[in-house]
Amino acid sequence: MKKSPLQIARAWYMPKLPSAFQGGIELKEGDATESVADQAEIRKLFPNTYGMPLITFEPGKTPEYPSVSVGVILSGGQAPGGHNVIAGLYDGLKRLNPANRLFGFLGGPSGLVDHKYLELTKDIIDEYRNTGGFDIIGSGRTKLETPEQFDKGIEVCKELDINAVVIIGGDDSNTNACVLAEYYKQKDCGIQVIGCPKTIDGDLKNEMIETSFGFDTACKVYSELIGNIQRDANSAKKYWHFIRLMGRSASHIALECALMSQPNICIISEEVEAKKMTLAGIVDDIARTIVERANAGINFGTILIPEGLIEFIPAMKHLIAELNELLAHNEEFVSMGSDAEKREYIKCSLTPDSLATFRSLPAGIARQLTLDRDPHGNVQVSLIETEKLLIEMVAKRLAQLKAEGSYKGKFSAIGHFFGYEGRCAIPSNFDADYTYSLGFTASILIAAGKTGYMASVRNLTAPASEWIAGGVPITMLMNMERRHGEMKPVIQKALVDLNGAPFRFLEQHRQEWANTNLSFVYPGPIQYFGPSEVCDQPTRTLMLEHNKEI
C-alpha cells in the first residue's frame, strides 16, 4: 500500500506515556464504589462486579505475570486513536510477558460470537501506529446482550486460550462490556472483560473519565473546516452557513468547535431544553442576529447546530419519546407499504399534544422521524436534516420581517453536516498519546486479573508524564434508563453542564461573537509537528474544566 509522506512520518511518532509506566508498575486499590444512581437496582443486576474499588498505577516493582492471550474488539462508530489503543495494549502485554498474545475480533462484537478473528503480530501493529480509522480489524454495532451470544464468546475464547477481552467503545458498548463481565464472572469461566472509553461525541465522561478518545481530533478537524468556511464567508460577503455537527445526545462537539472558531451563533441543545425553548423561538433568535448584522451591511455568518437538537426541544422530545415507544419492535408498522399509510397509523396512535407537534412539521422532517430506529431503539437523528429545516424556517421568518419593513438585507444560506470527516482522521498528538496510554493501562488491568473495569487516564491538561492511569469499575458509571420500552442499566451520558466553565465562557462571549465586529477564528489544520503550544494542546473544553486559561 502506497503511503503519503505524512503517514510515513506519523509511523515514527512515539506516543508519550505517564511516568508510572516508565519503569516498574504497582497497582493501588482505593475505596469501594457505588453507581452514580439507582444503587439498589444496579447492585442487584451486577452482584459480582458491583462496588469494586478504584485502581491507580504508581511507580514500583512490577510483579511477574504468567502469559495470557487477549482478544480486542472495536465497537460502534469510528474515532481517531483506536489503532493506538490496540498498539498500546499490544506493547503493554509484550512488555509484561513476551509470550503474551493478542487477537483481534473482526467486524466488531459479531466477530466474538461468529468466531472471526486475526492474531495481531508486531508486523501488523506497526502498520497502523498513529493512524486514523478502525480498519485494522474493523468495527460493528452488534450488541452483546443474550446468554447465547455470551456462551458463543466463551467457546471461541476457550478455543484460542483467551483469558481476557478488551472492548473499545462508547457508553452503550461499555455497558455491554459490563454485562459481559458480570456474566463471565457469574459463570466462573476465567474470562476477564475490560473497557476503553471511545466516542467523538464527548458524552462518555465523568470524574474518572475526563474525556473520551477521538473527541480532541474530531473537534480540531471540524473547527478547521468551520474556520475555512468562515474565511470564505468573510471573502464572499454573502452566505449564511448553517453547520450541523455530530453529537446525538449532547452538544460537546458544537460547544468545543465554538470555543475554537467563534461563530456568530452556536445552539446548545441542553440550554434549549433547560429554557424550554420552542422551534419558533430558536428561529426568532437566529433571525434577530441576522437582522442586526444585515442592518450593519453584513449579510453573512456561521451558525453551529448540534446533531441532536431536535430531541432537546421539549415538544419535539415528547413526540420522539412517544414515537420510540410506539415503533420499537413494531412489526405491523414495518410491514406497511406507503408513507401515507405509516403517517396515518402514527396520527391515530399519538397523544393530542404530540399529534399537534407532528402535524406542525414539514412532511420531510415528519417522515424522517418515523424512519427505522437504531439498535438501541432511538430515532436516528443523523438522518434528520435540522440545518435544512432551520434554513427554511429562518427564510420564512425573514420574509415576514422584510414585508413589515424591519429587515432590508439579503439572505442566502448553505447547509452543511460534518460527521464522517472527523471520525477517521489521523489522531492529534493528544489523542495518539491518550489512546496509547489507555491501551497500556488495559494491559496492566488484565495482568492484575481485573474484570468489569474501564481503563482510565486522568489529569489530562498536564504533560503526559503527569497523567494518572488506573481503572474505574464500570458499574460506578451506571444508572437505569428506559430503552426499547423497558428500564435497562446503562452508563450515564454526560451532557453539557450549563453551570460548567466551558458553557459559561460561551455565554459570556456569544453576544460579542454575534455582533457586527469580525470575531471569527481560523484554527487551521491540526498540527502534528511543531511547538508544543500548537501541537500538543488538549481541547478548550478540558482546559476550562480544569480552570486553565484559553
**What pTM, to 2 d.p., does this model score?**
0.92
Check: CB of residue 184 under 8 Å from CB of residue 149: no
Query: What's the average pLDDT block by block, 10 residues per block, for the chain (550 residues)?
Result: 83 94 93 96 97 95 93 97 98 97 97 96 96 96 91 95 97 95 96 97 95 97 97 96 94 98 97 94 97 95 95 89 77 70 83 88 78 65 84 94 95 96 95 98 97 98 97 97 85 96 97 88 85 87 94
Check: CB of residue 303 under 8 Å from CB of residue 241: yes
- DSSP letter at 522 equals -
pLDDT at 373: 62
Phi first, then psi: give them for residue 357, nearest 5 degrees.
Answer: -65, -45
Q: Exactly one of 201, 203, 216, 431 is catalytic; which is it?
A: 201
Cα separation, 98 vs 67, in Å, equals 8
CA atoms within 13 A on the CB side of 220: 27
Q: What angle do CA 351, 353, 356 make, to 5 degrees?
A: 105
Check: CB of residue 261 under 8 Å from CB of residue 230: yes
Cα–Cα distances in angstroms (integers) from residue 189 to residues 164, 172, 192, in the given order: 11, 24, 9
Cα separation, 328 vs 5, in Å, equals 49
Yes or no: is domain 215-423+499-545 CATH 3.50.50.60? no
pLDDT at 376: 57
Segment (H or E) for 58: strand 53-59
Minimal CA–CA distance to 319: which of 284, 279, 271, 268? 279
Segment (H or E) for 70: strand 69-74
Phi first, then psi: give them for residue 535, nearest 5 degrees.
Answer: -100, -15
Number of neighbours of residue 508 by Cβ within 10 angstroms? 9
Instruction: Kindly tell me the burial class for residue 550, based on how many C-beta atoms sit within 10 Å of its own C-beta (0-12, 13-18, 19 or more).
Output: middle
CA atoms within 13 A on the CB side of 298: 18
Q: Which residue has the cell 503480530?
A: 121
Domains 20-214+427-483 and 215-423+499-545 share a fold: yes
pLDDT at 182: 97
Check: CB of residue 108 under 8 Å from CB of residue 135: no
pLDDT at 224: 96
CA atoms within 13 A on the CB side of 129: 20
Minimal CA–CA distance to 85: which of 493, 472, 443? 443
Length of the chain: 550
pLDDT at 384: 81
Q: Name the residue ranges covered by the structural domains of the chain.
A: 20-214+427-483, 215-423+499-545
Segment (H or E) for 489: strand 486-491
Minimal CA–CA distance to 474: which of 154, 192, 202, 163? 192
Q: Could you report the per-residue pLDDT of 472-508, keeping only the tens digit for each?
A: 999 999 999 987 678 999 999 999 999 999 999 999 9
Minimal CA–CA distance to 112: which of 150, 168, 68, 82? 150
Check: CB of residue 76 under 8 Å from CB of residue 199: yes
Cα separation, 312 vs 282, in Å, equals 12
Q: Report residue 145 as a C-alpha cell.
A: 446482550
Helices H, strands E: what count in the chain? 23, 15
Q: Could you report the per-residue pLDDT of 282-331, keeping only the tens digit for each?
A: 999 999 999 999 999 999 999 999 999 988 999 988 888 888 878 766 66
Catalytic residue check, 201: yes
Cα separation, 155 vs 140, in Å, equals 20
Instruction: Kindly tell me the burial class for residue 64, based on how many C-beta atoms sit within 10 Å of its own C-beta (0-12, 13-18, 19 or more).
Output: exposed
Cα separation, 48 vs 437, in Å, equals 28
What residues does 105 pair with on adjacent strands?
A: 117
Check: CB of residue 256 under 8 Å from CB of residue 264: no
Check: CB of residue 225 under 8 Å from CB of residue 418: yes
First-last CA distance in the chain: 41
Q: Which residue has the cell 421568518?
A: 397
pLDDT at 528: 82
Domain 20-214+427-483: give its CATH architecture. Answer: 3-Layer(aba) Sandwich (3.40)
Segment (H or E) for 394: helix 386-404
Which positions ≥6 away from 121 have C-beta within 8 Å? Answer: none
Pairing of strands 486-491, 301-306: unpaired
Check: CB of residue 87 under 8 Å from CB of residue 99: no
Phi first, then psi: give them for residue 491, nearest 5 degrees.
Answer: -70, 130
pLDDT at 360: 79
